[in-house]
Structure formats: structure tokens, C-alpha cells
A and B are shown apart, each in its own frame.
Chain A
Amino acid sequence: MTSEIQMTELLQQIRVQIEDRRAAGLYPPGLEQQLEREFAEIMSSTNRRYFASKDLQAQLSHLEDAFVRLSGQISPRSRIPGLSLVHRLVGKLTKRQVLGLTAQIRDVESIVVVVLKMLGDFAESQEEADSRVVRELSQHVLDRVAVVDHLAILITELEARVRNLESHQGK
């Protein structure tokens, strides 16, 4: 069984290891806080990004469905007696124009669907590119911070040595 004493010893040993690794620059100062902050930023933008992307997909799907249903066929039926005949007559008279117009709308709509999809893909790839740049920049910053940390440790050591030397000289 893991007794309380062994647990305390284990955690103490682990904390010493962490200090050693910090001194070796493996854990830059503020690493945990930085990770926490980064995920908080992801969470705060998720609502907007996730739901916007979901909404865009849903609307594009509606648009495609509407596009498939676009036929130029309008029912001549009417609840008013005799009016069905008038609708059928008007339908026949304007059939050529309506079908022509429908074909033109379908042409335009098909382009609109493609353009909207391209815009969606473009926005997504742009966002990925932006986050890649941010990631690379963050990595550079972290590398620099690690170097600065290492230098700070070296300076502390040098200061200690200088103090030692000075105290020896004083004696």
C-alpha cells in the first residue's frame, strides 16, 4: 500500500527533480500559467469559431437544397374557384420566360454556392495559417525565454563566484 509517508517522500523527491529541471531550463518560468492562458484563449474563441463554422455549413447545405428544388414549376392550383384556369393560362403564356429565367438563376446560384464554399475554405485556411504563425512565434519567444533563463542562472553563478573571490581577496 502507498502509505502517507511514502507519498510525501515521493512528492518531495518529485519537487526536487522539478527544481533541477527548472535550473536546466527544461521548464521555463511561468510555463503552466502560459499553457493555462493559451487554452483559456482557445476556449474564449471556440464559441465564435465553432458555432460560426457550424452555421456556415448548415446555411450552405440549405442553399444547396434550395438550388436542387429550383425548377420553375409553380402549381396552378387555387382555392378560389375558376382561378386555377387563369393560373394555368398565365403559366403557359409565361412558361418560356420563366424557364429561361430559372436556368439563368440556376447558373448564378451554382456559382454563388461555389464562391461561398471557396470563401469558407479560404477563411479556414487563413485562420490555420495565422495560428501556425502565432505558434511559430510563440515557440521562438519560448526559446528566447529559455536562453534568457539560462543566462540568468549563469549570471547568478558568476555573481556568487565574484563574491567568493572578493571575500577571499578581502581576507
Chain B
Amino acid sequence: MGTRCVHQVLVGAARNDAITAMALEIQSELTVSFTSNIYCHHPVDASFPDYVRQLTEIDAGSPDDVLIYHLSFGIPEMTELLLGRPEKLVIAYHNVTPAEYYAELLPEFADALAYGKSEASFLKNQVSLAISDSEFNAEELESFGYQDVHVVAGGANPQRLREVAIDVNFMADLEQHFPNGFILFVSQVLPHKRVDHALEILQLLRTVHRLNIGLVIAGPIRQPAYEFAVQTLRDKLQDSHLLMANAVTDEQLATLYRACLCYIGTSEHEGLSVPPLEAMANGAPVVVLGAGAVPETVKSGGIVLPIDTGVIEFAEVVAEVITNSDLRSQLRRAGVARLNEGFGENSAQKFVELVSGITV
């Protein structure tokens, strides 16, 4: 551990949150050469390691130090704090969800998202290094006037479950629940993820294609109001064999990826999207909507549908994958090839190398 400080700043840290997971991976590389903590604006879960702290505890800092700010939301106090800090600022841009998905359901949350897009512009002159986790995000940062944006999905590790064993009891529950198998969507339950579309696809698979299968949505329920809307749709569709697993353990997640008939992704906005890559790493055929960074992330490792694909066509493709074993094997091989092509390197190390460049 060095004497120079390189800290990371997050809006919030939560389990099963992709940005938190990336920050933790980066942290393990940072501590090799620097004194490093992770600071959060929102209250920190007591179960996190003690280097994940409340932002109010941050030291005064010096111009030789570095702050890495993971931008994915907008909070004016955060902007003000960052603008007043003496450290060199690195922006790690993860994209901000378009506010319109929340305008009706959670207007205040929508306002914060709208502010998030402006925050990148407000911080621009203070930023010494800009890193985005996808080309899609880099283009957006450039549209805010940033130059020399580096693209590194720092801390993204799709192979992280490789050594994780399956959860035998969970597997038995799944087999009992869905004797003919299930399709899987790993995602936080949020409006822009379009869980409603996943549910409608299931309905079409069961009624039109006569496939007696289920759907598992694995991911934390971040907005109970949206979950309420999804449950209302579920009641309305009646015949929805849906399991909303909420947050799951790594063992359960590995079980889901390895046991599912097909991984689906219906999200309409993605700045990176790691779950399809994890699905590929665990041998699941992947069918996803080509939203945001998804086409560049998945590439030829799965079926990437045009963004305007409706639920009917989506369900038809999934039905084809489920019933066509040749296509399924082809997709599994394509997934492995995709991972070999672009995710062999240690992305956290590469990220830290970039940051080290400005500490000299």
C-alpha cells in the first residue's frame, strides 16, 4: 500500500449492484500501490468491508491524490463536493438511465436522473482523466464535450462465477417449480429493464408456442412501486409461471445460468450489461435486445435483436432457441468464443494502469 491516496466515490453501494461490484474489483488492484477507500453518498450497508465508508468521513485530500468518481446518477451535493476537492478527478462513466422511464412512477427520482446527465458537463473542466466502460458511453461523454475518453470496463469480470459451485437445494426447488425448464433474466427490477416485456414473452411462449416453461427474474427489487406494477400485470396475465427471485447468492446465480434453457434480456437502456456475458461464461444461450451498449458487449456471442423488436418476434426467437438443439449448441459455442475474444485481460488492472498515469 502506497502513501498516495486514490479513492473511489460512489453514489451508493449495494450488493448485487454492478457498479459496486466493479468498484470492489478495482479496489483490490488499487490497494497494491495506493492507499485507497471507497466512499458512498448514501448510507453504507454494515456488512460491507470497512474500506467502504460514508462520504462524510473522507479526509481533506491533496492535489497529489486522486478521486475516481463513478457517475451513474445525479446529486447536486455530490457535484458541489467534487468541484471543491483538491484531488485530481477521474470520471468513470457508467451512463445515466433516461429520466422518462421514471417520470410518471417516481418523479423525484426522474429529476435526479435528468440532473445526472448535466453533472458530467458540470464536472468536465475539473476532470483529469475520463474512462467509460463501453464505446456507447464514451460517445455520450464526448457529446458532453469530453476528449480522449478511454474505454475500459474496469472491474467487469464475466468469469467470476467460474469456480462457484451450484446450490443443490436451489436446483431442486427450480426443478420442482419448473419441471420443463425456465428462461432467465438477470436484472435489477427497474422500469427501463422492461420486466413487463419478459413477462409478455413468457405468456406468448406458453400460449402460442405451447411451451410449458417458466421465467426467473433474478435481481434485487430496487423500486417496490415498479414491482407492484409488474405484479399487477402478472395477475392480469393469469398464466404467468414467474419466479421473482429478488437478490440471489453467487451460488444461486451460477445455478440459474447453468440450468436455464435460454438467457433473455429485454432492457431498453444499458451502458454495459455484464449479465449476458456471465450467462455465456456459464454455458447459457443468449437472446437480448440490442439496447445501448448491448450489441458491442454481446457481439456475436448471442442473438442480438434490433432495438425495435416487439415481444412477438422476441418470443418466436426464444421458442426457436428452446426447441432447436443445434441452434442452442451453436449459441453456447459462440458465447465461449466471444469471451475468449475480449475478456481475457484483467480489466481492473488495466483501469488502475490508466489512473496510475495521472498520479506521476
Chain A residues with a Cβ under 8 A of chain B: 1-3, 7, 10-11, 13-15, 17-18, 21, 26-27, 31-32, 35, 38-39, 42-44, 46-47, 49-51, 131, 135
Minimal beta-carbon separation of B235 from chain A (angstroms): 7
Q: How far is the CA of A10 from the CA of B302 in the complex (A)?
A: 13
Q: Does B311 contact A (CB under 8 A)?
A: yes
A47 to chain B: closest residue by CB: B105
Q: Does B303 contact A (CB under 8 A)?
A: yes
Asked if B228 and A50 make an inter-chain contact with CB atoms under 8 angstroms apart, the answer reads: yes
A35 neighbours in B (Cβ, 8 Å): 200, 311
Of B302, B310, B330, which is in contact with the most chain A CB atoms at under 10 Å from its CB?
A: B310
B337 neighbours in A (Cβ, 8 Å): 1
Minimal beta-carbon separation of A8 from chain B (angstroms): 11
Asked if B229 and A46 make an inter-chain contact with CB atoms under 8 angstroms apart, the answer reads: yes
Give the residue of B105, B300, B310 whose beta carbon is less than 8 angstroms from that of A1: B300
* Other contacts beyond A1-B330, A31-B312: 5, CB < 8 A: A1-B300, A10-B327, A14-B313, A14-B320, A39-B233
Q: With A14-B313, A31-B312, A42-B232 in contact, do A26 and B225 touch (Cβ < 8 Å)?
A: no
Minimal beta-carbon separation of B125 from chain A (angstroms): 38
Q: How far is the CA of A73 from the CA of B302 in the complex (A)?
A: 71
B285 to chain A: closest residue by CB: A2
Chain B residues with a Cβ under 8 A of chain A: 104-106, 191, 196, 200, 208, 224-226, 228-229, 232-233, 235-236, 238, 300, 302-303, 310-313, 316-317, 320, 327, 330-331, 333-334, 337
Minimal beta-carbon separation of A168 from chain B (angstroms): 39
Minimal beta-carbon separation of A166 from chain B (angstroms): 37
Q: How far is the CA of A10 from the CA of B327 in the complex (A)?
A: 10
Q: With A14-B313, A26-B208 in contact, do A42 and B105 touch (Cβ < 8 Å)?
A: no
B238 neighbours in A (Cβ, 8 Å): 135
Minimal beta-carbon separation of A10 from chain B (angstroms): 7
Supply 20 A–B pairs (Cβ within 8 Å), ascending by A. Answer: A1-B300, A1-B330, A2-B330, A3-B300, A13-B320, A14-B313, A32-B310, A39-B229, A39-B233, A42-B236, A43-B104, A43-B229, A44-B104, A46-B228, A47-B106, A49-B228, A50-B224, A50-B229, A131-B232, A131-B236
Asked if B311 and A46 make an inter-chain contact with CB atoms under 8 angstroms apart, the answer reads: no
Give the residue of B208, B229, B232, B330 whose beta carbon is less than 8 angstroms from that of A21: B208
A3 neighbours in B (Cβ, 8 Å): 300
Minimal beta-carbon separation of B230 from chain A (angstroms): 9
Asked if B236 and A46 make an inter-chain contact with CB atoms under 8 angstroms apart, the answer reads: no
Asked if B228 and A2 make an inter-chain contact with CB atoms under 8 angstroms apart, the answer reads: no
Asked if B225 and A18 make an inter-chain contact with CB atoms under 8 angstroms apart, the answer reads: no
Give the residue of A13, A47, A49 whose beta carbon is less than 8 angstroms from that of B104: A47
Give the residue of B235, B317, B331 whose beta carbon is less than 8 angstroms from that of A131: B235
Asked if B316 and A14 make an inter-chain contact with CB atoms under 8 angstroms apart, the answer reads: yes
Minimal beta-carbon separation of A146 from chain B (angstroms): 12
A24 to chain B: closest residue by CB: B208
Q: How far is the CA of A15 from the CA of B317 in the complex (A)?
A: 10
A13 neighbours in B (Cβ, 8 Å): 320
Asked if A2 and B334 make an inter-chain contact with CB atoms under 8 angstroms apart, the answer reads: yes
Q: How far is the CA of A47 from the CA of B226 in the complex (A)?
A: 9
Q: With A14-B316, A14-B320, A32-B311 in contact, do A38 and B300 touch (Cβ < 8 Å)?
A: no
